């Protein structure tokens, strides 16, 4: 004690202590503002009563009406939703199978397969797009046909880059599965299918929902790969918005984008409520 230095050194704050500093809070505030201001601006100007998107001229819903009446925009929107729903469904099932296989079985080349499976996540989208374009052209995949068959190329492309995301999410979830749960189920008299349905599947569910949601949003707003695989008759919403913006950024584009944002948020909220039935049950009682 007697040998303690007379000058007590000031403690250096720990990494999490910095949250009390005013300058850090200011930076956080500015960051948030920069992140969300454009989105808020986009939503706000969708109600702007002006053909040009620069000055606020008063509130109107006219551009929602005109977006609604813009047949090609609605068609693009319907295309996007159709593709997203089909791609989500297929890639969720496919991704779940892949995840279960990787979780459960050992087979030669497993590590290599696991790496290859995740390639679409890391391969630059532009390369995927070009690859898809060349692939479909080479095998002569029919680009026409009645709706929704004309969307098949885009849908397949979307599935191919969506399912690895589902697989990765579900696989991560299954890593936390206690094998004794499965054994307990067998021990209590359940067969393989009953065990899968009543024990393994409920455990997978949060992973499936999270994966499906990820796939849905990825598919809905994908531009690059879609751009390469879409034909003149199969325009999706992001591609359509892009072509509209090339002429001018009208509030109509804002209105359509706002609707897309709303759909995404609603889907997220629904998924989160599904995610946690316990909390919902408690809230109800």
Among 34, 140, 144, 178, binds other proteins (CB under 8 A): 178
Q: Smallest distance, Å, CB 169 to other proteins?
A: 18
> Is 248 among the residues that bind other proteins (CB under 8 A)?
no
From 20-28, 101-109, 179-187, 237-245, span contacting other proteins (CB under 8 A) = 179-187
Residues 109 and 198: their CA atoms lie apart, in Å, by 31
Please return the burial class of 131, using the count of CB atoms within 10 Å of its CB with bins 0-12, 13-18 and 19+: middle
8 A C-beta contact, residue 44 and residue 32: no
Among 86, 166, 199, 241, binds other proteins (CB under 8 A): 199
Interaction mask 47-86, other proteins, x per CB under 8 A: ----------------------------------------
Among 5, 146, 202, 232, binds other proteins (CB under 8 A): 202
Among 181, 265, 269, 272, binds other proteins (CB under 8 A): 181
Among 21, 25, 104, 198, binds other proteins (CB under 8 A): 198
Q: For residues 105 and 193, which CB has a smaller minimum distance to other proteins in the complex?
A: 193
> Is 280 among the residues that bind other proteins (CB under 8 A)?
no
Residues of this chain, 126-165, that bind other proteins according to CB under 8 A: none
Residues 279 and 269: their CA atoms lie apart, in Å, by 14
> Is 284 among the residues that bind other proteins (CB under 8 A)?
no
Q: For residues 194 and 248, which CB has a smaller minimum distance to other proteins in the complex?
A: 194
Q: Taking the CA atoms of the chain, what radius of gyration do you get in angstroms?
A: 25
Q: For residues 110 and 197, which CB has a smaller minimum distance to other proteins in the complex?
A: 197
From 16-24, 75-83, 192-200, 208-216, span contacting other proteins (CB under 8 A) = 192-200
From 36-44, 159-167, 198-206, 223-231, span contacting other proteins (CB under 8 A) = 198-206
Q: Omega before 148 cis (within 30°)? A: yes
Tally the C-alpha atoms within 13 A of residue 227's C-alpha that lie toward its C-beta. Answer: 15
8 A C-beta contact, residue 84 and residue 219: yes
Residues 6+ away with beta carbon under 8 Å from 224 = 125, 126, 128, 129
Residues of this chain, 203-242, that bind other proteins according to CB under 8 A: 203
Q: For residues 51 and 104, which CB has a smaller minimum distance to other proteins in the complex?
A: 104
Would you state the structure tokens that stand for residue 144, as one six-digit string? Answer: 């026409």
Give contact residues for other proteins (rule: CB under 8 A).
Answer: 178, 180-181, 183-191, 194, 198-199, 202-203, 278
């Amino acid at each position: 004690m007697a040998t303690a230095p007379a000058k007590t050194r000031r403690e250096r704050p720990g990494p999490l202590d910095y949250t009390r500093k005013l300058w850090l809070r200011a930076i956080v505030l500015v960051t948030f503002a920069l992140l969300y201001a454009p989105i808020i601006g986009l939503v706000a100007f969708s109600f702007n009563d002006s053909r040009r998107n620069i000055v606020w001229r008063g509130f109107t819903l006219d551009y929602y009406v005109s977006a609604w009446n813009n047949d090609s925009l609605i068609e693009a929107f319907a295309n996007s939703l159709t593709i997203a729903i089909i791609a989500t469904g297929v890639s969720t099932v496919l991704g779940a199978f892949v995840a279960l296989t990787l979780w459960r079985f050992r087979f030669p080349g497993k590590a290599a397969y696991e790496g290859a499976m995740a390639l679409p996540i890391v391969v630059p989208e532009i390369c995927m797009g070009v690859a898809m374009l060349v692939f479909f052209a080479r095998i002569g995949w029919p680009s026409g046909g009645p709706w929704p068959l004309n969307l098949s190329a885009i849908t397949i492309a979307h599935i191919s880059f969506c399912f690895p995301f589902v697989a990765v999410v579900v696989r991560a979830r299954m890593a936390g599965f206690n094998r004794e749960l499965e054994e307990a189920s067998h021990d209590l008299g359940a067969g393989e299918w009953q065990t899968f349905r009543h024990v393994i599947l409920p455990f997978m569910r949060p992973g499936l929902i999270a994966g499906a949601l990820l796939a849905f949003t990825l598919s809905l707003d994908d531009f690059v790969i879609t751009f390469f695989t879409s034909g003149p008759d199969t325009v999706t919403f992001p591609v359509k918005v892009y072509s509209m913006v090339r002429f001018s950024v009208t509030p109509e584009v804002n209105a359509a984008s706002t609707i897309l944002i709303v759909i995404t948020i609603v889907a997220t909220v629904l998924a989160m409520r599904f995610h946690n039935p316990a909390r919902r049950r408690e809230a109800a009682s």
